[in-house]
């Protein structure tokens, strides 16, 4: 017997996405690919046209917070509403209406304005007031993602998994990387105490799931899963012995720049942080809000201001103004002046292929970070977290192994994993096991897997909870 609704093998969920901008479009795209029933609401006809032309979704033209529009979108039997329009208030009211009139069980809203999110007003989003289950603040999420990368110098991406016992690390291989031009199967022989699993290689903008015969070459971006305690050793093996940044210059004192400086002041009292902000009032506000950070009012493309901020002596510059082109140019200028690393916020995906050749070390994509954060709340079964990697290349999935799972109880070499799926780590209590052919996964283990985009569905099936086992 199989009762409907709980198994991921049956129909997916019914989801309403409010807002057809970049984030809404990407969420709708991910959800539609995975057989969910998706309806998108937007009041701009050209976006509705674009979304119905490109994606397998329903679309409704209108205001996402209006009851008749939500009703037309099928709110009456929806499992979830994800409100990511450009207006915080519309997102909040859409969730309220979905709750009060249509009883939609799960409500996710993007709320940008920090005035709603201050701890003193924490009860605002509770069930009895404005019932929103998950509030996503892109600026806070982006600042966190930047902080993680600052803490692991030499990495272009850092994602903590399984309560930060394991991390996904992305690095760029230079010609000084000792591991290049070696087939992956030989790495364990040459570096016996290096417990890493390489799950993805991006070469010339194309991402591939590597086989044991593949090798890394100069210029590759390599993603691997590693026990958190061994991150420094793994980076050394890749030839990255970067020091943690003590001198940081932040271009742009908006919300992201401000959160970043606050976080850094709190966690790294010895570090010297400077912010350059163009707007005089904003610069004064930021200077008042922060304790030790030096705030300069001026243009990040002005050589005199860059000199005054001693950009040439900075280990890292972080460019987070609200303009992609300014971020890219100021990062390149800073590198020219002698800054060691540049982290650059870029919204337009068209630019991403240019970044590495131009010499920008780390690209931060707010859209990818927001989409990843939202997707973590959409999964089913025993899946805890999902992180999308490199523009739809695949997903890093963290899940609990049930005794019914095909992974459990036999050595991994006998387990037929679907194509495009790699097991990155097994966490058993406090122990982190780097999987080998002889490893046996036990029920209750937390496993970290990578699934290429076309294999995600199969992985969800491995961890689906079927009713007959309750």
Average pLDDT over residues 284-309: 96
DSSP-derived letter for residue 333 is: H
Domains 14-136 and 247-364 share a fold: yes
Residue pLDDT, tens place only, 213-270: 999 999 899 999 999 999 988 998 888 887 777 899 999 999 999 999 999 999 888 8
pTM (two decimals): 0.81
Which CATH number applies to 373-469? Answer: 3.30.70.1450
Segment 297-309, tens digit of pLDDT: 999 999 999 999 9
> For the segment 364-389, what is each residue's pLDDT rounded down to a tens digit?
988 888 888 887 777 656 777 777 77
pLDDT at 25 > cutoff 80 = yes
Position 54 scores a pLDDT of 93
- In CATH terms, is domain 247-364 a member of 3.40.50.720? yes
Q: How far is CA 347 from the centre of its chain?
A: 14
- Which tens digit of pLDDT belongs to each residue from 81-119? 999 999 999 999 999 999 999 999 999 999 988 888 887
Tokens 């110098």: give the residue.
153
CATH architecture assignment, domain 14-136: 3-Layer(aba) Sandwich (3.40)
Domain 142-196+206-237 homologous superfamily, CATH = Regulator of K+ conductance, C-terminal domain (3.30.70.1450)
- Whether residue 145 has pLDDT greater than 50: yes
**What local confidence, expressed as pLDDT, does residue 379 receive?**
62
Burial 39-63 (b: 16+ CB within 10 A, else e): bbbbbeeebbeebeeebebbbbbeb
- Please write the tens of the pLDDT for every residue from 415-428: 888 888 899 999 99
Q: Which of 64-73, 199-208, 405-414 has the highest mean pLDDT?
A: 64-73
Residues 383 and 463: beta-carbon distance below 8 Å: yes
CA dihedral sign, ordered 317, 26, 94, 136? negative
Residue 2 has pLDDT above 70, yes or no: no
Quote the CA–CA distance of 104 and 101 in Å, as a whole number. Answer: 8
pLDDT confidence bin for 120, thresholds 50/70/90: confident
pLDDT at 46 over 90: yes
The token duo for 347 is 């919204």
Mean pLDDT of the chain: 88
Residue 431 and residue 457 in contact, taking contact as beta carbons nearer than 8 Å: no
CA distance to 183, 199, 203, 207, 448, per residue, from 210 (Å): 10, 7, 11, 9, 17
Q: Where are the domains of the chain?
A: 14-136, 142-196+206-237, 247-364, 373-469
pLDDT (0 to 100) of residue 380: 57
């Amino acid at each position: 017997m199989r009762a409907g609704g709980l198994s991921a093998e049956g129909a997916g969920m019914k989801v309403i996405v409010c807002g057809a901008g970049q984030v809404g479009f990407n969420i709708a795209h991910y959800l539609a690919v995975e057989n969910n029933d998706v309806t998108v609401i937007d009041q701009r006809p050209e976006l509705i046209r674009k979304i119905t032309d490109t994606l397998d979704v329903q679309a409704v033209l209108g205001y996402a917070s209006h009851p008749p529009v939500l009703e037309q979108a099928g709110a009456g039997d929806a499992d979830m509403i994800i409100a990511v329009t450009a207006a915080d208030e519309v997102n909040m009211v859409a969730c309220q209406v979905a709750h009060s009139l249509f009883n939609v069980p799960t409500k996710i809203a993007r709320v940008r304005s920090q005035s709603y999110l201050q701890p003193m007003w924490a009860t605002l989003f509770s069930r009895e007031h404005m019932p929103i289950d998950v509030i996503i603040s892109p600026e806070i999420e982006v600042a966190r993602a930047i902080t993680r990368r600052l803490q692991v110098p030499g990495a272009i991406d850092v994602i903590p998994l399984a309560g930060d016992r394991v991390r996904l690390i992305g690095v760029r291989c230079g010609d000084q990387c000792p591991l290049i031009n070696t087939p992956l199967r030989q790495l364990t022989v040459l570096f016996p105490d290096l417990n890493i699993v390489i799950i993805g290689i991006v070469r010339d903008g194309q991402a591939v799931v590597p086989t044991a015969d593949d090798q890394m070459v100069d210029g590759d971006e390599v993603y691997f899963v590693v026990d958190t305690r061994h991150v420094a050793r793994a980076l050394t093996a890749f030839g990255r012995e970067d020091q943690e940044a003590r001198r940081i210059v932040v271009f742009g004192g908006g919300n992201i720049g401000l959160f970043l400086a606050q976080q850094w002041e709190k966690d790294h009292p010895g570090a010297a942080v400077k912010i350059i902000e163009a707007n005089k009032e904003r610069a004064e506000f930021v200077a008042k809000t922060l304790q030790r950070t030096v705030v300069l009012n001026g243009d990040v493309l002005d050589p005199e201001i860059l000199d005054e901020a001693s950009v040439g002596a900075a280990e890292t510059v972080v460019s987070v103004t609200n303009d992609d082109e300014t971020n890219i140019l100021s990062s390149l200028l800073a590198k020219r002046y002698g800054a060691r690393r540049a982290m650059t916020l870029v919204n337009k995906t068209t630019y991403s292929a240019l970044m590495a050749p131009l010499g920008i070390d780390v690209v931060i994509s707010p859209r990818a970070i927001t989409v990843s954060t939202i997707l973590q709340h959409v999964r089913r079964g025993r899946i805890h977290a999902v992180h999308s990697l490199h523009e739809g290349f695949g997903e890093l999935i963290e899940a609990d192994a049930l005794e019914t799972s095909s992974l459990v109880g036999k050595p991994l070499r006998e387990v037929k994993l679907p194509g495009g799926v790699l097991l990155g780590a097994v966490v058993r209590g406090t122990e982190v096991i780097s999987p080998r052919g002889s490893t046996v996964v036990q029920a209750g283990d937390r496993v970290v897997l990578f699934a290429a985009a076309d294999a995600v569905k199969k992985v969800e099936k491995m961890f689906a909870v079927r009713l007959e086992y309750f």
